[in-house]
Homo-oligomer: A and B are copies of this chain.
Amino acid sequence: MQPLGGIGAVCREVDALLVVDAVATIGGTAVDTDAWLLDVVVGGTQKCLSIPSGMAPLTYNDRAERKLLARKRIERGLRISVEEDRAGQEAPIRSNYLDLGQLQDYWSPHRLNHHTEMTSMLYALREGVRIALSEGLEARFSRHRLHESALTAGLSAMGLELFGDPANKMPMVACVVVPEGVDGERVRGMLLHGFGIEIAGAFGPLKGKIWRIGTMGYSCRQTNVLHTLGALEATLLRCGFRLPAGEAVQAALGVYERSGFSC
């Protein structure tokens, strides 16, 4: 959970835009766009909103809009220096598809056709957001925190180490250090093919070093947490990792019991 407080104020001092990738967070934890002075927030549908993938809801403020419209004007024929072009500042928009200025015209009263919208998906988006709001955002955020607690209690009880600063952990993903001597990809394969459970690996410098276990949206529920802990324990035992058998699921059940949660 990148701490975002304070960054927005500095961005305004230096006339920079603050653009936030909230793909994995919207619907699962608070994203206080205006209070945090975020200029642009880009979300996703397929994570904590549990809506079919393929869309990126976004919001931006008037600061960002002024920038967009300035670029648009340049595209329409004003001169542009090579230096500006190289720096990528106020450069002409090269993609006809990813042009928010044209998208604004599309949803303006003129309804200027920009591209052909994927209408079926918009119905899915509306229904998914309706379901999320029926649960209530605060209840949804609280649900993500509860199952995170149960999952991480189970992981710790297995003797596994969480990766990253606990103070900034996001509630919908648990990053787990692959233990010394364990083949992380083999564990992922056994979980997927033997138990029908997919957990993620990682990219870049963390490739092969951590697993990422998601508890997002619809999938963020007790049955998934308990099955995943049981399956991961069995898989790790099978791979020769020494752990206190049976304790992971008990630790998670303890969290649920203490929270008064049942179902």
User: Which residue numbers of A lie inside 8 Å of B, CB to CB?
Assistant: 44, 46, 52-55, 82, 85-86, 94-95, 97-98, 116-121, 124
Contact present for A121 and B82 (CB under 8 Å): no
Knowing A85-B85, A95-B94 touch, does A116 contact B44 (C-beta < 8 A)? Answer: yes
Contact present for A120 and B54 (CB under 8 Å): yes
Instruction: Tell me the number of copies of this protein.
Output: 2
Q: How far is the CB of A233 from chain B (nearest CB, A)?
A: 28
Residues of B within 8 A of A98 (CB): 95, 97-98
Residues of B within 8 A of A86 (CB): 82, 85
> Most chain-B Cβ atoms within 10 A of its Cβ — which of A55, A95, A116, A119?
A116
Q: A82: nearest residue on chain B (CB-CB)?
A: B82
Residues of B within 8 A of A94 (CB): 94-95
Knowing A82-B82, A82-B86 touch, does A54 contact B117 (C-beta < 8 A)? Answer: yes
Residues of B within 8 A of A119 (CB): 52-54
Distance in angstroms between the alpha carbons of A117 and B44 in the assembled complex: 12
Q: 8 additional contacts, CB 8 Å, given A53-B117, A55-B118, A118-B121?
A: A53-B119, A54-B118, A54-B121, A82-B82, A85-B86, A97-B98, A98-B98, A120-B121
- From B46, B95, B118, give the contact of A95 (CB < 8 A): B95
Residues of B within 8 A of A117 (CB): 53-54
Q: A83: nearest residue on chain B (CB-CB)?
A: B82
Q: A93: nearest residue on chain B (CB-CB)?
A: B94
Knowing A94-B94, A98-B97 touch, does A46 contact B82 (C-beta < 8 A)? Answer: no
Residues of B within 8 A of A95 (CB): 94-95, 97-98
